[in-house]
Structure 1
Amino acid sequence: MNAIQQKKRVVVICPGRGTYNKEDLGYLQRLHPDKVEFVANIDAYRKQQGQVSIQSLDQADQFNMRTHTAGENASALIYACAIADFQAINRDKYEVVAVTGNSMGWYIALAAAGALDAMAAIELINTMGSMMVKGVIGGQMIYPISDENWRVDQKMLDTTERVLIDINSKSGCEVYVSIKLGGYVVFGGNKKGLKALEQALEKVQDRYPMNLFNHAAFHTPLLNEISVKAKALLAPSLFKAPHVPLIDGLGQIWQPYSCDPQSLYDYTLGTQVVDTYNFTKAIEVSIKEFSPDKLIVLGPGATLGGAVAQSLIQQKWLDLNNKQDFIALQKTDPFILAMGLEGQRKLVM
């Protein structure tokens, strides 16, 4: 009993699209050479679909932006890396008390929490990732709403909201808030709307607004047809109650003993496909409802760490008021452990 009490309570955060990049090439081969059967099962499924294996993608000589970021490849590849990381968490040191994720990371969270078994997970993730092989619907654009100290700038937030209303009043323009991502907003929309938005928003840091390559207008009404198609292709029987609590993109908690699998199916293939994904809210609920000792961010990559930190600062969690406070905390007693970073990864194993 004492050993159980000494475990650190952790909430696990699953990454979404755009996290497997050039520097992550070989992630599976390098960090998870023991996951042969797991990877083989994914590739056996993909072979049936006439798709390239994730093993060959991971072991490619060079990172190819168009190939590696295509939905039908990126989704399965990121899923494999993230679940392999999840399986590598030292359960003698850490007790997973809840799981959440960002955008596509919701599907990975379902698998990590046990709401999908291994084959159901790859069927869901591969199917959703392959929905736009013949053409991506709309696009996504990311824009900061925080200052250099990672505190939300209300003026910037108000400005983006006004600009969004103005753009949507123009003929043929459709733009929505796709993801609330800590100190950033991700917009999703049609090409005309995003182009108008790009021209209307003030340039920041010589980088933003930034169009996200190969990303569709996820979490917006533009994907209504994808939701309908998904429900026709994927059966409710794939879903079951999770083993540990799940926190979704509305901040709802799906508890193991009260979860209705049909409702979870409806949310996953309905609501979260066409409505804003509030990752910021998911982090707020994670810390306030579960009071974890640590947050573990699964790989590949570590880009999600900044958005998580900004979400913590918004809540003044652990007395964090700005970026400098967070950096100081991470140096002395890191609260966020990103498995895509070697030093922090060692603390999780």
Structure 2
Amino acid sequence: MSQTTENRVKERVVVIAPGRGCYNKEELGYLARLHPDKQDFIADIDSYRRACGQSAIAALDGESKYSFKLHTPGENASALIYACAMADFMDIDRERFEIVAVTGNSMGWYIALALAGALDAEGAIGVINTMGSMMADGLIGGQLIYPEMDDKWHKDDAKSALIDSVIAQVNQTEGCALFTSIFLGGYRVLAGNEAGLKLAESLLPSLEDRYPMRLYNHGAFHSPLLGAISERGKRELPESLFRKPAIPMVDGRGQIWTQYSTDTHKLWDYTLGHQVLEPYDFSKAVAVAVKEFAPDRVLVLGPGNTLGGPVAQSLIDINWFGWADKASFSAGQAEDPRMLALGMESQRSAALKQK
């Protein structure tokens, strides 16, 4: 590294924001431990939440023990995850990296809007906290996750066909509803009502003593069951909150939003309409982001690293970075990490400016 800062060519990076389910026991204290210099940013979030009668994220992050009851409900998890991810984003070394695009998984789309400047700081916590709190009085449906890949992290067509057939069978059963919610790398996330999820759990063969896995405190995101949530979001969150992004964004359909072409009405309508009601294709978002913006690396924001596998699987599917399977991904990462997960202590320092 003999080049000076002045003449160093910056590496191009795509930044990926996580969704729900990434702030777990191991992440407790993430803000206090890694971002003690972000007190003003955190205080602004907590000021907003106090006005809503909600717990401060500083207090939630500072709890002595992790609690499913306290840390996983949407009204708390969403703001916590946003604060951790945004704080990580603030610390990316801009002298080394040029951020050429952002995307995110599920709730990570709201975070991506903030990263790109399509929502200002007040608008970001407004959208994230409002949408995250919509089911505080009771969840609408739920989600489960199931693999559709083999041991090499290749898409398994037989598993995909099985999932599709289960969805069809469940929806032919009276009182049951089941939908694809997220295409998540080598996994499929399904959303449904309780009857539909229970039937699906009985029809999907058990794998690895883990799957099908119900996602705790998750509603039926990205499905028609959230029609009332979409309508309420549009009533409570005005179009005026949305702006043209300063950094290109890739959404859950693989559509690109740029500073030159974004129609803010369409962005508001997508975010609170299609994005809430239709499947979120995270795999496609990742594929489009790297194909269109040709990054040297991808940076996955914390907290945690639950998104690392799905990102790698999405890249393996298109043979990006020369990753043809799980083994070549692991070998490549050991030699020269093309994916840096900021939630992993071993990779974090390579992406961040020195404090």
For 2:269, the equivalent position in structure 1 comes to 266
For 1:321, the equivalent position in structure 2 comes to 324
Q: Percent identity?
A: 55
For 1:304, the equivalent position in structure 2 comes to 307
Alpha-carbon distance, 1:319 to partner: 2.3
Query: What are the superposed Cα offsets for residues 207-240 of structure 1, whole Å, 9 maximum, x if unpaired?
Result: 0000000000000000010000001101000000
Is 1:184–2:190 an aligned residue pair? Answer: no
Is 1:6–2:4 an aligned residue pair? Answer: no
CA distance, structure 1, for counterparts of residue 10 and residue 39 of structure 2: 29
Alpha-carbon distance, 1:20 to partner: 0.2
Is 1:173–2:164 an aligned residue pair? Answer: no
For 1:157, the equivalent position in structure 2 comes to 160
Is 1:224–2:264 an aligned residue pair? Answer: no
Is 1:25–2:40 an aligned residue pair? Answer: no
CA distance, structure 2, for counterparts of residue 142 and residue 218 of structure 1: 13
Number of equivalenced pairs: 349
CA distance, structure 1, for counterparts of residue 280 and residue 292 of structure 2: 19
- Match of 2:259, as an amino acid? P
For 2:198, the equivalent position in structure 1 comes to 195
Is 1:348–2:344 an aligned residue pair? Answer: no
For 1:125, the equivalent position in structure 2 comes to 128
CA distance, structure 2, for counterparts of residue 311 and residue 335 of structure 1: 14
User: Which 4+ residue blocks in structure 1 deviate beyond 4 angstroms?
Assistant: 2-5
From 238, 244, 259, the counterpart of 1:241: 244
For 1:110, the equivalent position in structure 2 comes to 113
SS at match of 1:96: strand
From 75, 86, 91, the counterpart of 2:89: 86
From 277, 292, 296, the counterpart of 1:293: 296
Alpha-carbon distance, 1:5 to partner: 6.5
CA distance, structure 1, for counterparts of residue 163 and residue 6 of structure 2: 50
For 1:71, the equivalent position in structure 2 comes to 74
- Match of 1:254, as an amino acid? W
- Asked if the contact 2:321–2:338 (Cα under 8 Å) also holds between the matched residues in 1, the reply is no
CA distance, structure 2, for counterparts of residue 161 and residue 300 of structure 1: 32
- Asked if the contact 2:223–2:279 (Cα under 8 Å) also holds between the matched residues in 1, the reply is yes
For 1:283, the equivalent position in structure 2 comes to 286
Query: What are the superposed Cα offsets for residues 252-275 of structure 1, whole Å, 9 maximum, x if unpaired?
Result: 000111101110000000000000
Alpha carbon RMSD of aligned pairs, Å?
A: 1.1
Is 1:56–2:35 an aligned residue pair? Answer: no
Give me the TM-score of the superposition, normalised by structure 2: 0.97
Provide structure 1 residue ranges, at least 5 long, that are not aligned to the other structure: none
Provide structure 2 residue ranges, at least 5 long, that are not aligned to the other structure: none
